[in-house]
A and B are shown apart, each in its own frame.
Chain A
Amino acid sequence: MAMTIKPIFTLKEALKSLWRNRLMSIASISSVAATLMILGIIFALIININSMAQSAKDQFDTIQAYLVDTLPVEEIETIMTQIEAIEGVKSVAYESKSDALANMKESWKDNAYLLDGLEENPLPSSVVIYLEDIYYSSGVLKGIEGINGIEEVKSYQDIVEQLLAITEAIRKTGVIVIFVLIAISTFIIHNTIKLTVNSRQREINIMKYVGATNWFIRWPFLTEGTLLGLVGAGISALFMKLSYDYVFELMHSDFYVLVSAYIVPPGELMRDVIFLFVVIGAGIGALGSIWSMRKYLNV
């Protein structure tokens, strides 16, 4: 069966109808935009915290055991063999005082010249312990406790655990909040489209008697709903882009140098966000409009 769907005509009709009910249209667009903005913020938070947790995890693959100053070479070697014997240790490496200073200079980058003024190297030598898996970390830490000559141990376990807990919490509440908001927006769009459907009930009824298929009738309303969703998506995408760029810039200013390394750059994130917005926005709109037509099509 041939069916002429005239895209430009349909679009024009949809815009006309949206303009006629502009108050409800604005309400629908705002609700979609608000939903997507909140979704976007939660999404950005999750992505960033994930990335932070990931880099923290990578660092946590190592434990650094700082040695008592001026330890003779033989004793250092004994300590190293002792550590290597602990279950879960992949390898160990010795980091001398000068190595430590060099590493620090490297990580400070542009500010490294500040270290040039030091008369004496204040950094301790250490043994870097590479773990087979994060899983072994607490066992290894316990094993090290009994070894003489180790002054201090540095590990990131607490941070990683906290980060993982926070990520999990944000993800869970995020999903719930997003679902509730999507349901609300769909409902609001459903009401908006219902206004048009009501005003065209007679037309729909006649169309049914002349033998129009349900999809033929649905099409213009579907276009309207999807359009509402897409405009909402556009607005929220613009909002996300501006605010994320702003936050990213802010984090890159001198005060937050340490944090900024973990923040996902806008380019990557915005691609995902825009894709997500378009899909969910159009989805909410389409769903809302199909829902609003249901009872009118059963003639």
Chain B
Amino acid sequence: MIEFLNVTKKYENGISALNKVSVKIEKGEFVFIVGPSGAGKSTFIKAVLKEIAITEGQVIVDDQDITKLHRRKVPFLRRKVGVVFQDFRLLPNKTVYENIAFAMEILGTPHRNIRKQVPMILALVGLTGKGNFYPNQLSGGEQQRVSIARSMINNPPILIADEPTGNLDPDTSWEIMKVLRTINRRGTTILMATHDREIVDIMKKRVIALENGQIARDDKIGVYGYDD
């Protein structure tokens, strides 16, 4: 699903955020990416989203080599990769329903389909009946679920979650993880960057640890492994 072949990224200030990274993530996997700040987690995610151009190597997403993907084609890559951020990134002046519908409107989905699918995705993330609320009327956990719903509404094969529980208390974090697990069981490949030791240790999923731009560990059933 996602493959890195000898990927190197050197920023203009001379720092190499990734150094000859090779890794393969199969369809349907749930992978944690851990590591200290500045180890290259963000760069790894940005490379999958084609937010940055890598210096060397090759990145393949969903059987497509995106290393030299033309700028005009990037939107079509993004439609295959849903993204969830630590800060939710919802539009404050739109309701929950509108925030999600917005992602479908962009693809030109007919309103008939939007009206049918938004309630379905809301049920999946456990927000049935909250469609007419505004983001500021929801708790942090609920907002993150809206954000997950938005990223999943167009059914992308891959979901990237960048510190999705970073702003949430432990109980709420677990609710979010349950939602992600459900999505993963439906067949979506999930790539989650995190600093949350407890979650990583309990979930018992594959863990890729990045340090100084290189893969330090890659365990099928891994642990967080840092003292925070």
Contact = CB atoms under 8 A, between A and B. Distances in A.
Interface string A160-176: 00000000000000000
B75 A211 contact: yes
A1 interface: yes
A210 B154 CA distance: 9
Contact of B83 (A202, A209, A213, A216): A209
Contacts of B103: 210
B78 interface: yes
A206 B78 contact: no
For this complex, into which size category does the number of interface residues on chain A fall? 10 to 19
Nearest to B76: A211
B206 to A, nearest CB: 25
B91 A4 contact: no
B129 interface: no
B106 A299 contact: no
Q: Ordered nearest first, which 9 A-B pairs have the shortest CB separation?
A: A211-B79, A211-B78, A2-B108, A212-B106, A210-B103, A4-B108, A213-B75, A211-B75, A3-B108
10 contacts: A3-B108, A4-B108, A202-B89, A205-B89, A207-B106, A209-B49, A210-B154, A211-B78, A211-B79, A211-B107
B9 interface: no
Nearest to B91: A203
B149 to A, nearest CB: 12
Contacts of B51: 299
B174 interface: no
Interface of B: 49, 51, 72, 75-79, 83, 89, 91, 102-103, 105-108, 110, 150-151, 154
A212 B75 contact: yes
B106 A210 contact: yes
A216 B106 contact: yes
Contacts of A202: 89, 91
Interface of A: 1-4, 202-203, 205-214, 216, 299
B107 to A, nearest CB: 7
Given A211-B75, A214-B72, 12 more contacts: A2-B107, A3-B108, A4-B108, A206-B102, A207-B102, A210-B79, A210-B106, A210-B151, A210-B154, A211-B76, A213-B75, A216-B106
A106 B151 CA distance: 85
User: Which of A4, A202, A211, A213 gathers the greatest number of chain B CB atoms within 10 Å?
Assistant: A211
A172 to B, nearest CB: 41
A4 B89 contact: no
Nearest to A212: B106
A44 B77 CA distance: 53
B105 A4 contact: yes
A58 B106 CA distance: 63
A249 B156 CA distance: 69
A208 B83 CA distance: 11
Nearest to A3: B108
A1 B89 contact: no
